[in-house]
Structure 1
């Protein structure tokens, strides 16, 4: 396939046909129509806070499961994971082991508490367990995290669209985001969940088509495996214990466990969907389906990356200057297949944008829930009418969405998507997971300790993360990449290139400068664990120094079920002692 690519010198803009635009436009149109349906034609209109934020707590297992999968799988995953395989090898696939364990932890240690309290925002829990300042700290951290995350989510599919059409990503980004803001604003959670369902199906379909046709074009599964094995890309069990090594079995299983636990178990975007289920049993079923879906789609993304390398194993498009960033390698591969398969580029881009739209709409809806429940509602002296509350929430969606679209223009300067996202999320993820862990698993923790722990965690991880990113940008921190070559390129493909013997086979043997501070060299996958450890350690120390809680004074409804057996509390037998939680819930509402 490499020999046939771009022999005419044309850019990728010629590969998006009318059929492709129709497929892509159809996805956007249907998404918008779903929002219109739930806003104006559904039996239950989205004009109450319960309907708008929680779908009336009557959502079914299938759409919630699809929405959970869509919330996790963004354009970052669909483009970033194949790029990871192509550039660094298959070691990253080990993350699926940690993600399975996270789902079990989420189902049995976290969600039962939130679901049992019948709350809307997961940060309401912090008010019940600690006090209002802790709740506001958690809510603010979450909103900052999502405001940083959403622009990256939007940028990734715009990058793919640019690669397959040649259209400036600054033109397509506002158009697509307007559609997302439109249906999220009008239709609330139900519109978000059902568009997520549609978009998840499109994601799977796009990846399946790319995998099947890609494997066929390179010569079959055996060829894919052989070419990747010869380049040293097939590796899974690197047991190097050096914490500065970017990806090892330990960083991807143990380190990523905490990263993903924070992203799912205490993240409003994920928790809100579980809370929208009528029963805890249905919520657990949705989480089980989520686990299967993530395992499947991550496996598909990883295999797609191996297929792409097999296609370009002897004529690398990055060395030829046809691809500027590694995250564009899969879209470029699709443009090559699109020459013989009409509609494929349109389906692929629709799938990538579907992943982005689902993540963006989920983020906007969850930010709105947190902002209204944790900031607006407690500060209003007289309760608002449902119509006024619904209007305010829609305004919040519009304003936050507009800000996120504006921030997309700052994302272009960032590096590889997977690393950047997890590095930045680690700043807030560790603090959030640590804060909730103090409440759920450590009955001795008090509000003063939790505040001190959360703030300390953010400051420490932010210092490490920004220090690392600045050194990467300065070229002081480098990561060894797998070899690529131009030895199989035709003369036509090499025309205009200044090729030398050294550039025919390119191996990145550069190493990180020894002058870089040790903590800046730590693998980004340890950031969340560092944050959690710091938060819990500082939180407990300050709690004991300022008067720790007595376990018997903490309502068991606020503690994780997995530690009930270890806590000697008279509230196990005295059900009337559980009233303080109900009283706090009434007060907070």
Structure 2
């Protein structure tokens, strides 16, 4: 596709979202009850379907297929762990959140431990989601810059600013209520894109619906379970339990994902949402791995020198024709923006309620004004974070960076919630920030020097280690 064609597609896509936003918020006010909770009137099936796009993001869209060449289907071991994690969310965390009638899930920490614990949890979420969501968006911004904006002479900082500004445009009035509807639309676009890409590349490889299954199962790249080397980052049980805990912290302890669940009318609806979301998400992740296998086989067969995060983009825009190129761009922006828009909304929610306490400090009219200012603040922060990582770091596979970063930032949340739910002890609240930061520092040291000290390489299980260290630290500062 030509750069101008891609630009028109992106702008048309945003226009559709803006129209969708207008229609979904037409009968709503711009108050905080709508922005934060969608008036608790969201249909559970829309929440479930929309959460798929928010969970996957542009990172999954590009990085998961690109990982197949080096790691086969090892990522699916993590996905299987997600199932256990989502089950725990449905039966333990959701009932707790609905019982306490929370808007921000971190309010639980204040009721259980105190103000310092509450602020600690909120700040760890804000830092983690700010970095994580913008790393995901950075990947997509890079692709669009290469395909479109470089050839048009538009600098990177301008293209990034424009993208985030357009996200602000369709989220600034109704917040989470708009997100529920736009994420549903974006998830649909993304899934259609993946299916089209699988069909086209299968045909190019001479496959049909009858031979595709055997081709995938017989390929060397479809190996899924790794049970031989305990020290390997791909070892099954390490990946499985890492997946379970990643799901718990990045969904169940994440304001972004839980804010959508809490817009359902009842707990029963929220649990139905989580059940169906788990089934569909597992299948969709498998589709991405199948797509990665087909792309890898196609690249090897045709001598295409493209690997990791570059594989999908190179094949889609140079080898597989206009239909795949169109599907790639559409699916990529759908996956990226469904994650970025909900992150912007949840960060605004958490900072407003958890850090500034606007519901207690301001009158209703002033609350709306402050919330709008915070929303703009996070637009600026997002731009600065993306530019900072763009020019300060470089990595071939961003999904590993995102999941590893989550292990350091969500670990204290895991420890805090586990301690709160499974013990009756109280803690010295003022010491909780010290415990949380100490756990992160120790985890960073273990990750950096584990191979030297213990002849062991930490993978995503560093999340569990971090959570355990926080839990242990809370025991040491418990009140006697």
Q: Please, what TM-score do these two structures have when normalized by structure 2? A: 0.91
- Paired residue for 1:197, among 149, 168, 184? 184
User: What is the alpha-carbon distance in structure 1 between the residues aligned to residue 170 and residue 359 of structure 2?
Assistant: 28
Deviation at 1:191, TM superposition (A): 1.2
Q: Matched residue of 1:73: which SS?
A: helix
What do the CA deviations read for 1:299-340 (whole angstroms, capped 9, x no partner)?
11111100101111145433xxxx5x620211111113553x
Deviation at 1:360, TM superposition (A): 1.2
- Paired residue for 1:531, among 444, 466, 479? 466
1:463 aligns with 2:449: no
Deviation at 1:216, TM superposition (A): 0.9
1:542 aligns with 2:477: yes
What do the CA deviations read for 1:105-162 (whole angstroms, capped 9, x no partner)?
1000111101111111011001111100110011111111112112211111123334
Deviation at 1:293, TM superposition (A): 2.3
Q: Is the 8 A contact 1:71 1:269 kept in 2?
A: no
Structure 2: gaps (5+ residues): none
Deviation at 1:201, TM superposition (A): 0.6
Tell me the residue number matched to 1:28: 14
What do the CA deviations read for 1:394-421 (whole angstroms, capped 9, x no partner)?
2211111222122212334332112111
Tell me the residue number matched to 2:226: 238
Q: Matched residue of 1:524: which SS?
A: coil
Number of positions where the alignment pairs a residue of Structure 1 with one of Structure 2? 470
Q: Matched residue of 2:104: which SS?
A: coil
Q: Matched residue of 1:297: which SS?
A: helix
User: What is the alpha-carbon distance in structure 1 between the residues aligned to residue 20 and residue 35 of structure 2?
Assistant: 14
Whichever structure has more helix as a proportion of its residues is 2
Q: Matched residue of 1:276: which SS?
A: coil
Q: How does 1:5-404 map to 2 (within 5 A)?
A: 15-16=1-2, 20-38=6-24, 42-46=26-30, 48-162=31-145, 164-165=147-148, 167=150, 170=156, 171-220=158-207, 222=211, 226=215, 232-243=220-231, 245-318=232-305, 323=306, 326-339=308-321, 341-342=322-323, 344-377=324-357, 383-404=361-382
Structure 1: gaps (5+ residues): 1-14, 469-514, 548-589
Deviation at 1:531, TM superposition (A): 0.9
Deviation at 1:443, TM superposition (A): 1.4
Change over 3 Å in CA distance of 1:154–1:173 after alignment to 2: same
User: What is the alpha-carbon distance in structure 2 between the residues aligned to residue 520 and residue 208 of structure 1?
Assistant: 43
Change over 3 Å in CA distance of 1:181–1:166 after alignment to 2: closer
Q: Highest relative contact order (Cα 8 Å, sep 6+), 1 or 2?
A: 2
Deviation at 1:173, TM superposition (A): 2.6
Change over 3 Å in CA distance of 1:36–1:379 after alignment to 2: closer
Deviation at 1:541, TM superposition (A): 3.1
Q: Is the 8 A contact 1:430 1:529 kept in 2?
A: yes
Q: Matched residue of 1:362: which SS?
A: helix
What do the CA deviations read for 1:374-398 (whole angstroms, capped 9, x no partner)?
1212696xx4232321121122111
